[in-house]
Structure 1
């Protein structure tokens, strides 16, 4: 079985598009997953490739010379007051770099609103030849598998998909039987990481782990193999922020550990859903 891996921005959050691409290529990743829609979180720096032409050309050079590809661009959030058109420049960047997917998540409880806005997002992405993949997050508006499946059925767009994150599946208490029922065409990529089997009771602790203390694949308590074997084989974007590991190993060392651990685990345990 051949697996493909991407280095996600959150794993090495402070890097520029050029820096993360260099790290990904040197470590042996197949893809890079870039953040071009910024969220204002701690440690996040803004590198707008549509405005910084020099940075864009340098990134294109790295992609061309190394064979590294862009998998997706994040994060097109749906929230109260969102203007979907604001995401068009990032979509144009994704298309220009050869990417295929826009990552999205829902941060409002207003179902009618987020369904309508997500449909608009899908339509805008389709005009750029991109899919839109929903990542449910345990602390967000759409926070479990059931809500996500309902959303995708309601919008009924052929470029809409689901992006499953191992941490979020476990924290939401979802099961592999329900994952196995999801149409295969909804899957385009997934997020790999691990975490403790015990689910924090405090929201603050869950957020801390999610943003800065995830485990290497196979080192935590999540049954990752069962999850991956209930879905088709897709590229795996390693989203594994861990500030302690970065302090110990450096950005490149951490990214390399992420890839090596994931490869060893998937090669041993993952066959995927037929």
Structure 2
């Protein structure tokens, strides 16, 4: 397990600036971090790495000082009016940080156009050595594993991936059998996954699912998700990004370092119990 990549996702410690996040990741024992170059929502706290050259320099320096590396950058949204060429600057910054993976959300109800734009993004990303991963989320236009696989296959690019997030896998009602079959046929599509746990039955209200996703996930082993089954279906030793926002703990004064450390410790314990 010492060779496995463990990455601290930005959403887990969203209050931290990127340099501070790198420092916390290093202290907690992570090998990698994920950098949020574009905010997921207009309301969330965001540190403008794309616009702030000084902040990028500080982040590079902290990465160099600690030996922590960047796994992925996020989050690009493919919308109906997306001009894929506009994403070049973000890819350039991602490559500058050494990221190999890119998190992509599908926000276009026209599935054919979504697949075409995803293919164009893969083409744009390829010279940078970056692999775009379409993350399915039940409130987006890539709702579940089946739809994400269909879109990625339609795109037909060698660097196209599907990002499995344990929360979205559970809340979308996706199939472990279908995941295991897809991984067996095309393991190269699954280069990293996002891990957390999920508590309770699936809500009927999509707004509540969205609230839980962004604010209240559980550490691995503390919820009801079949994480052993999920990890068994995914490629062996797949890189794991720990995306576990726990707003309640944040509001109780539990520090970013403590939350990041708990996430990693719980993940290691889960893996050792398999």
TM range (shorter): over 0.9
Q: Deviations over 1:76-131 (max 9, x none)?
A: 11112112122211111111111101110101211121111111111111121110
Q: Which residue of 2 aligns with 1:98?
A: 98
Whether 1:198 aligns to 2:201 is: yes
Matched residue count: 268
Q: Secondary structure at the match of 1:152?
A: helix
Q: Which residue of 1 aligns with 2:20?
A: 19
Q: Which residue of 2 aligns with 1:242?
A: 246
Q: Deviations over 1:142-171 (max 9, x none)?
A: 111111111111111000011100011111
Specify which of 224, 227, 252 is matched with residue 230 of structure 2: 227
Q: Deviations over 1:185-212 (max 9, x none)?
A: 1111100111114001111211111110
Give how far 1:70 is off. 0.1
Q: Secondary structure at the match of 2:75?
A: strand
Two-structure CA RMSD over aligned residues (Å) = 1.3
Q: Which residue of 2 aligns with 1:8?
A: 9
Whether 1:152 aligns to 2:157 is: no
Query: How does the TM-score come out when normalised to structure 2?
Result: 0.94
Q: Which residue of 2 aligns with 1:265?
A: 270
Q: What are the residue-to-residue correspondences of 1:1-274 with 2, within 5 Å?
A: 1-2=1-2, 3-49=4-50, 51-182=51-182, 183-232=186-235, 233-248=237-252, 249-269=254-274
| 5+ residue gaps, structure 2 | none
Supply the distance in 1 between the matched residues of 2:159 and 2:52 (Cα, whole angstroms).
Answer: 29
| 5+ residue gaps, structure 1 | 270-274
Asked whether the 8 Å contact 1:38–1:75 carries over to 2, the reply is yes
Supply the distance in 2 between the matched residues of 1:169 and 1:120 (Cα, whole angstroms).
Answer: 26
Of stretches 82-91 and 177-186 in structure 1, the one that deviates more from structure 2 is: 82-91
Supply the distance in 1 between the matched residues of 2:93 and 2:108 (Cα, whole angstroms).
Answer: 26
Supply the distance in 1 between the matched residues of 2:115 and 2:165 (Cα, whole angstroms).
Answer: 21
Give how far 1:44 is off. 2.3
Asked whether the 8 Å contact 1:192–1:237 carries over to 2, the reply is yes
